[in-house]
């Protein structure tokens, strides 16, 4: 088969790779129905995360089970499945506590931007849908593999509750789906921080009640002004820079909570500032597997439509253009069809 390989900064190739096959009895082999480019793929694409050798890319996936290893019990060939970007056994103490992305046996999904994928620990990683979905539903189901699950975790970690005021820092796919999550959890007011018109529009569609375009001191001042000088109850941080993290901490009221899911790059926290801010911080790689059954149910019943974050669809062999479009912010998120 042909798959996606990153060779170095801005050098994505779609080239011949070995066909994946079952290696361990706990593996499943799936035929990818749809995959996509992640914001986090842009770190190595831009050369900010260095890679040392040609690296197969992609960790967001859904598709049809082709074959399973002899020990796999919960999924079977022919079923449509979705799994997290980290594989997990779903049985160790961290998994049982709901932190499958810290599984004692976790592995990162390798090379999902391809027509076929081997998924290790299939029983603990994959969740099947009730039946095979319609074509229209597939993009929404695909988002559950990472960005929707991550936005949801940000909202859970930020303790979003009915009627509360929520600020979302970051208008990428995760931030936008954090807005959708906060709305679904009953937030009263959702303030999206965004300065891009197309993203502001989608933010409103997903449930944002207010938009703040300012950043830094100006952004914080605006949030304070909008909350009578108090700050937000819950803040979702979905960027991972010093500026966004500082923005999140300074926008939160004393006693409020921050869910941070942007992978930090060069973020350093000031102990004194944190101490006197009186905020709760919780974040990390989202335990997507914890939320998969409930989120599949919400998509299946048509209650949420997170697939709207895909504003560019390309055939898989044009994956390099998918990266470029996101890198140049011409697209929020690229859907790839094998
Ligand atoms: Zn991702
Ligand atoms: Zn585990």
pLDDT of res. 110: 81
- Of all ligands present, the nearest one to the C-alpha of 107 is 2
Indicate if 155 and 6 belong to the same structural domain: no
Last residue of a domain, one of 283, 304, 320: 283
147 Cα–ligand 1 center, Å: 6
85 Cα–ligand 1 center, Å: 7
98 Cα–ligand 2 center, Å: 9
Indicate if 45 and 136 belong to the same structural domain: yes
Indicate if 176 and 274 belong to the same structural domain: yes
pLDDT of res. 75: 98
> Is 39 within 8 Å of 49 (Cβ atoms)?
no
What's the CATH number where 162 sits?
Answer: 3.40.50.720
- Of all ligands present, the nearest one to the C-alpha of 104 is 2
Indicate if 69 and 189 belong to the same structural domain: no
104 Cα–ligand 2 center, Å: 5
Beta bridge partners of 191: 167, 210
Indicate if 276 and 307 belong to the same structural domain: no
Q: How many domains does the chain have?
A: 2
109 Cα–ligand 2 center, Å: 15
65 Cα–ligand 1 center, Å: 21
Cα maximum dimension of the chain? 61
Indicate if 32 and 142 belong to the same structural domain: yes
Indicate if 266 and 161 belong to the same structural domain: yes
Task: Give me the residues near ligand 1 (ion), CB cutoff below 5 Å.
Answer: 38, 146
Indicate if 35 and 87 belong to the same structural domain: yes
| 18-24 LR contacts (CB < 8 Å, sep 24+) | 19/116, 20/111, 20/114, 20/116, 20/117, 20/118, 21/118, 22/67, 22/68, 22/69, 22/118, 23/118, 24/69, 24/120
**What distance in Å separates the CA atoms of residue 98 and residue 274, rounded to the nearest whole number?**
26
Q: Which two tokens stand for residue 282?
A: 């919780």
pLDDT of res. 278: 98
86 Cα–ligand 1 center, Å: 10
Indicate if 61 and 173 belong to the same structural domain: no
Domain limits for position 74: 2-146+287-337
93 Cα–ligand 2 center, Å: 6
Kindly list the averaged pLDDT for each block of 10 residues, start to end, along the chain of length 338. 97 97 98 97 93 96 98 98 98 98 95 98 98 98 98 98 98 97 98 95 98 94 97 97 96 98 94 96 98 98 98 98 97 97
**What distance in Å separates the CA atoms of residue 110 and residue 136, rounded to the nearest whole number?**
26
1 Cα–ligand 2 center, Å: 31
**What distance in Å separates the CA atoms of residue 118 and residue 61, rounded to the nearest whole number?**
11
Indicate if 122 and 158 belong to the same structural domain: no
Last residue of a domain, one of 283, 310, 328: 283
- Of all ligands present, the nearest one to the C-alpha of 97 is 2
What's the CATH number where 25 sits?
Answer: 3.90.180.10
**What distance in Å separates the CA atoms of residue 171 and residue 332, rounded to the nearest whole number?**
9
- Of all ligands present, the nearest one to the C-alpha of 99 is 2
Indicate if 265 and 160 belong to the same structural domain: yes
Indicate if 135 and 8 belong to the same structural domain: yes
Last residue of a domain, one of 266, 283, 300: 283
């Amino acid at each position: 088969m042909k798959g996606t390989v990153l060779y170095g900064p801005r050098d994505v190739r779609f080239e011949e790779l070995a066909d994946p096959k079952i290696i361990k009895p706990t593996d499943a082999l799936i035929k990818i129905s749809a995959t996509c480019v992640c914001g986090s793929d842009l770190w190595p694409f831009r050369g900010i995360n260095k890679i040392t050798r040609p690296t197969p890319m992609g960790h967001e996936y859904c598709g049809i089970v082709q074959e399973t290893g002899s020990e796999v019990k919960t999924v079977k060939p022919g079923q449509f499945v979705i799994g997290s970007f980290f594989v997990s056994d779903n049985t160790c103490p961290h998994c049982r506590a709901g932190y499958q992305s810290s599984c004692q046996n976790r592995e990162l999904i390798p090379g999902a931007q391809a027509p076929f994928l081997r998924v290790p620990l299939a029983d603990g990683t994959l969740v099947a849908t009730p039946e095979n979905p319609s074509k229209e539903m597939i993009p929404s189901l695909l988002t559950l593999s990472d960005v929707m699950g991550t936005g949801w975790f940000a909202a859970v970690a930020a303790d979003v509750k009915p009627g509360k005021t929520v600020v979302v820092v970051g208008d990428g796919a995760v931030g936008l789906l954090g807005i959708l999550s906060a709305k679904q959890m009953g937030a009263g007011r959702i303030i999206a921080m965004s300065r891009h018109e197309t993203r502001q529009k989608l933010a409103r569609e997903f449930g944002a009640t207010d938009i703040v375009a300012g950043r830094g001191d100006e952004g914080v001042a605006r949030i304070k002004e909008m909350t009578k000088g108090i700050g937000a109850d819950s803040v979702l941080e979905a960027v991972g820079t010093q500026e966004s993290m500082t923005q999140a901490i300074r926008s939160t009221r004393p006693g409020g909570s921050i869910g941070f899911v942007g992978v930090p790059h060069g973020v350093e926290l000031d102990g004194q500032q944190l101490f006197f801010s009186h905020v709760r911080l919780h974040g990390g790689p989202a335990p997507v597997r914890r939320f998969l059954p409930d989120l599949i149910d919400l998509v299946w019943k048509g209650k949420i439509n997170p697939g709207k974050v895909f504003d560019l669809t390309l055939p898989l062999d044009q994956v390099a253009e998918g990266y470029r479009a996101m890198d140049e912010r011409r697209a929020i998120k690229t859907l790839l069809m094998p």
